[in-house]
Structure 1
Amino acid sequence: MDTEETKSIAVVEAVDAVAACDAVEIIELESDDKKKIKIDFALLPTGHYEYFVESSCIINQILSFMYNTIERVTPLNVPQEPKTIPFKVVRRPYKYDGGDSAYMILGYGSYKYEYKPGVTLLVTYTQETTTVGTQDAAEKYESLKIVSSSCKEFHDFYVEADRYGELNEKDDTKLHIFIMNKYGEWIRYNKIPSRTLKTVYFDSKAKARIRKDIVDFIANEKEYDEFGIPYKKNYLLTGIPGSGKTSIVKALCKEIGYNLCIFSINHDIDNSVALIAFRDIPEKSLLLIEDIDCLFEKRTGTQDNKFFTFSNLLNLLDGVCYRKGLISFITTNHPENLDHALLRQGRTDMIIHMNYPKKVDVHNLFVDMMQKTGESQDSVDKSFEAFYKCIQSKHITMAGLVGFLFKYRMSWEENIDELLDTDKFIKEVTRNVESSKLYS
């Protein structure tokens, strides 16, 4: 019985035999996940093969692979040293199954790519001058030409690029963060280590309630459709800065295996751009809109944002333009400044209040930090009571406590004044000099 490798070689040999003239032929390739693609190619007078790639997802897949193996790339027609390699950021369907992604790729130009020692490909990436599409989604066609010595070289190169993309997307040890640019495109900004809900020191019952609500939502799409209920979730997180609002969203991404998209509103964003952004949010992503109280305070008369209106935001979250299956988190430090239209039941599904940490949360943090020191449980408990006695009347957020204990977990007693002085400084800056017990 023929092996898959034998079949691949047989296909390549057959294509080599067919391409005996200058006419454009078609090569059919099969990736590791058995998806087949067809690419036009022609035999050049030099005996080399020139491949014409027009599928945007395949173009971006190949160029992303080349960008991430940049040491193999040599740009052509660059007059001076050092040679600079252009790049761009794209948000396009990354795989053939329609999944969205955003990533760095090589920019327009011609390159030599040393695929293997002694095997060099010539790659040319161009964009046509003619614009196609609608006014809201205009774009220009792009093409990629790759010249190789044989079909097998190109076949092996494509399979490796495809495998690289697959492995990169399956890295579940990292949280992929996307940000929105002024055109409504989602740009992969960073990959950071994933964190679990256990590392977010907040009410354990509240954390479990949020997680269960999201898991149930993901599992019951069919029931939403049967009852005619819009399939979306909107959560509002309120509380002081540093209470862990963003941290809990990042941890929830890890719990359900989602990416994180951060929706930012500035003077470059208008209603049409926001509509494009919501439409193109990558699949399996949580949407985070931070500090919404800074964007839309209570409206009086016509105080809507000049470029992006409050009514349009409501329409995107809960109106006819809502994105099916979208899970949104909105954060605010001042819920009293929010318009009641955002807070009404049915539009906001759950409101979670996150304030200064309770004693049990501080204890959980302290124990986790001190376990790394090798102290016994009795010793840790006694040390915690001494620590808590120092801070129980102070104005300190969970973020401040985490930073301090991580830095001084071996010597917190000698450095406690640094933490207390920070509290004093904040009170002086905010003109709040009164001291009151903020923990329960």
Structure 2
Amino acid sequence: MVLSKDLIASSSKTLVIHSFPVKGLVKQILANPVVLGGITLAALGSFWYFWDILKDFFRQNYLRTLVISSDNIAFHWVIDHINKQSRRQTQNLSLDSKLKYDQQGNGYLRNRFHPGYGTHYFYYKDRWITVTREKDKSLSQSITSNINRYWGSKSRAQEWVNLTTYGGSPNFWDEFLQDASKDEIKQKNKGLSIERFRDGYWEEFGKPRRKRPLESVILDGSMAKNILKDITEFIESSDWYIENGVPYRRGYLFYGPPGTGKTSFIAALASHFGYSIRMLSLNEPSKDTELNFALNDTPKKTFILLEDIDAAFSSREDDKDKDEEKSDSKKPEEPKCKISFSGLLNAIDGVASAEGRIIFMTTNYKERLDSALIRPGRVDFEAYFDNCTKEMVEKMFQRFYKNQTDDLCREFINTAFSLDKPISPAQLQRYLTKHKQSPLQALEHVSEII
């Protein structure tokens, strides 16, 4: 088939006519700043959209982040560990100062510096780690407001430390936390850890103390042996309690004059069994629910100590007599603590009471305690801590002055008891410590004991 020249020319013109408007349209669009700006913004938006997707993908697959709040036991351990591991110490520091005393009683200020609020960097196991420490009051309040309303405790600002690194094994943070806690746990295992309840939280009460040997607390007769035997039997009898449906709890009441070694012996028992001590003042919890939490949310191998229990609650009979004497008074007497007596009883042996818990109560005045508080099931073992007997004075004298003659010891005992005044173990220990270098001087000035 042969095409005519006119048809070819017509087709050529048609092609030219169709191609010209496309180029013109592009030029017009590019020449219009509004349209060009819109296209540019759309392109940038698409770029940032895909960039965010890439970043999220990178974070999820290559970044490892650990967030620790200040109410976590490892928080301060991690802060200390970061400071130790940093090759270059940060210039942004926070200060923790405490007033300490040396053996001569001279006070001095102990300063400890930690990474302050903000962002820091440190090197750990061939990897750079970014650290951000912050205090977020609003976040703390949003998290703890409901808890604080329930417990009635005082709200405290929450602190956070965020750790971020690139790559690493799935166990990287676990290894980091093991290293950070290694020294602290080692100290706790070597020493006696003591905590106190404050503002609705259990907090560490200083560094772990040196463990106290049982023989360092002098008691009369076989009392120490009997208490030790009872606690050992309880700890080893968990299966028996479960099989017989008996609540697996134990309560001890140590009572007697001041300075007779009640609290000291509890510390020695905790050291012997490898337990920690949680001290609770009944004036601290603000509600019964908070008290219940404090007594029953405790870790294993922990002794709970309620000191001077009589200072918070006296006998209901005594309170009745006082009310009758003050019936004409217009202003009622302020309560000794904010919790109720029934709340204390329920916390000790109520339905929600923890299993395996050991509670020690101490008092100088057992007669002031309500009988309901010390009935069996709440107090299972009572021990009276008395002032020094001749046997106790002999043991303490021989412990302070080894290789001394029996005659010197007997003379010291007879002279001390000739004063005809009670001598507490605390008084005797203070006196013998004063004359620790010379038993003869201790004998010569024995009247100074009291």
Question: TM-score if structure 1 supplies the norm length?
Answer: 0.70
CA drift at 1:71? 5.4
Q: Distance in 1 between matches of 2:289 and 2:213?
A: 36
Comparing 257-266 with 169-178, greater Cα deviation is found at 169-178
AA matched with 2:185: E
Provide Cα deviations, 1:219-251, integer angstroms capped at 9, x if missing partner. 111211221111100000011111000011011
Mapped to 2, the partners of 1:124 and 1:154 lie a distance apart of 21
Distance 2:118 2:169 in 1: 19
Residues in 2 aligned to 1:147 and 1:404: alpha-carbon distance in whole angstroms: 58
Aligned partner of 2:406 in structure 1 is: 381
| Contact 2:288 2:340 (8 Å CA) reproduced | yes
Q: Does the aligned pair in 2 maintain the 1:235–1:330 contact within 8 Å?
A: yes
Indicate which of 51, 66, 78 corresponds to 1:65. Answer: 78
Match of 1:201 in 2: 218
Please name the residue that 1:151 is paired with: 167
- Are the aligned partners of 1:356 and 1:398 in contact in 2 as well (CA < 8 Å)? yes
- 2:285 corresponds to 1:252: no
| Counterparts of 1:258 and 1:415, CA distance in 2 | 36
User: 1:235, 1:348 within 8 Å by CA — same for their partners in 2?
Assistant: yes
TM-score between the two structures when normalised by the length of structure 2: 0.68
Mean Cα displacement is larger for which, 165-174 or 231-240?
A: 165-174
Aligned residue number for residue 213 of structure 1: 230
Return 176-185 or 239-248, whichever deviates more. 176-185
SS at match of 2:413: helix
Q: Please say which structure displays the higher CA radius of gyration.
A: 2
CA RMSD between the two structures: 3.6
Structure 1 counterpart of 2:315, from 298, 302, 311: 298
For 1:402, the equivalent position in structure 2 comes to: 429
Q: Distance in 2 between matches of 1:111 and 1:67?
A: 16
Pairs within 5 Å for 1:7-406: 22-24=55-57, 50-54=63-67, 61=74, 63-67=76-80, 70=83, 83-85=93-95, 109-115=117-123, 121-126=129-134, 127=136, 128=139, 130-131=142-143, 134=147, 135-136=149-150, 144-148=161-165, 150-152=166-168, 159-170=175-186, 171-266=188-283, 269-299=286-316, 300-301=319-320, 305=336, 307-371=338-402, 375=403, 379-392=404-417, 393-406=420-433
Distance 1:53 1:157 in 2: 7
5+ long unaligned stretches in structure 2: 1-52, 98-111, 324-332
CA distance in 2, matches of 1:215, 1:307: 35
CA separation in 2, counterparts of 1:59 and 1:236?
33
Residue-by-residue CA offset, 1:171-227 (whole Å, 9 max, x unaligned): 432100011102143434331110121111113521111111111111111211221
Moved more, 223-232 or 54-63: 54-63
Q: Is 2:251–2:381's contact at 8 Å kept on the other side of the alignment?
A: yes
The 8 Å contact of residues 94 and 116 in structure 2, kept in 1 or not, is answered as: no
Deviation at 1:113, TM superposition (A): 4.6
1:163 and 1:117, CA in 2 relative to 1: closer, same or farther beyond 3 A?
closer
**What CA distance in whole angstroms lies between the structure 1 residues aligned with 2:71 and 2:382?**
42
What is the CA-CA distance between 1:114 and the residue it aligns to? 3.7
1:118 Cα shift? 9.5
Structure 1 letter corresponding to 2:217: V
Structure 1 residue 287 displacement after superposition? 0.6
Contact 2:95–2:113 (8 Å) recurs in 1? no
Aligned residues: 356
User: Conserved in 1, the CA contact under 8 Å of 2:66 and 2:173?
Assistant: no
Assess, with a 3 A threshold, how the Cα gap between structure 1 residues 157 and 113 changes in structure 2: closer, same or farther.
Answer: farther
| Unaligned stretches of 5+ residues in structure 1 | 1-19, 26-39, 44-49, 88-103, 424-440
Please tell me whether the aligned partners of residues 298 and 338 of structure 1 are also in contact (alpha carbons under 8 angstroms). Answer: yes
Cα distance in structure 2, aligned partners of 1:237 and 1:250: 13
For 2:116 and 2:283, the matched residues in 1 are separated by 29
SS of 1:172 mapped into structure 2 = helix
Alpha-carbon distance in structure 1 between the residues aligned to 2:195 and 2:360: 15
